[in-house]
Amino acid sequence: SRRHRTWRNANDGRDGRGGGSGRGRSHGPEKQMLLTEQALQEGATSLALHEKKRRLEGQLLELRDRLEGEGRLDDEEIEKEVQWERERVMERWRIEEERKDRAERERQQRLEGQVEGGNGEDG
C-alpha cells in the first residue's frame, strides 16, 4: 500500500522483517529510531502550539464577526482590536512559557544539588 511504502521510505526500508538485502536492519533488541526522544518532544510541543494558535485564530474570527455585527467600529478599528487581542494572548503565552522554563531549570538545579550533596557524604 502507499502508506506502507511511505513508512518504509521514511525508515530506509529497515522495517525489521525478513527479506531484502539485510543491510541496515537492526540485529538484537536495539532498534534504530527514526527520531530521537527530544525530536519527538519538540514535535509534540510544536503541534500543541499550532493547535493553540489555530484555536486562537478561531476566537479572533468570532471577535471580528461580533464587532462587525455591532456596527460601531470601521474595518480599520476592528483590525486594530483583533490585532491587539492576538498580541495580548500571545504575550500571555510567552510569559507562561517563561515561567515553565524557569520552574524546570530550578527543578533541575535542585536535583543536581541533591545528587552532588549526596555523593560521598556518609556522615
Q: What's the pLDDT band for 123 if we cut at 50, 70, 90?
A: very low
Three cell numbers, residue 19? 527479506
pLDDT at 52 over 80: yes
The reported pTM is: 0.57
The pLDDT tens digits of the residues spanning 70-98 come to 999 999 999 999 999 999 999 999 999 99
> Is 34 within 8 Å of 10 (Cβ atoms)?
yes
Render the chain in DSSP notation, one character per residue: -HHHHHHHHHTTT--SSS-S--TT---SS----SS-HHHHHHHHHHHHHHHHHHHHHHHHHHHHHHHHHH--S-HHHHHHHHHHHHHHHHHHHHHHHHHHHHHHHHHHHHHHHHHHHHTT---
**Alpha carbon distance 107, 110 (integer Å):** 5
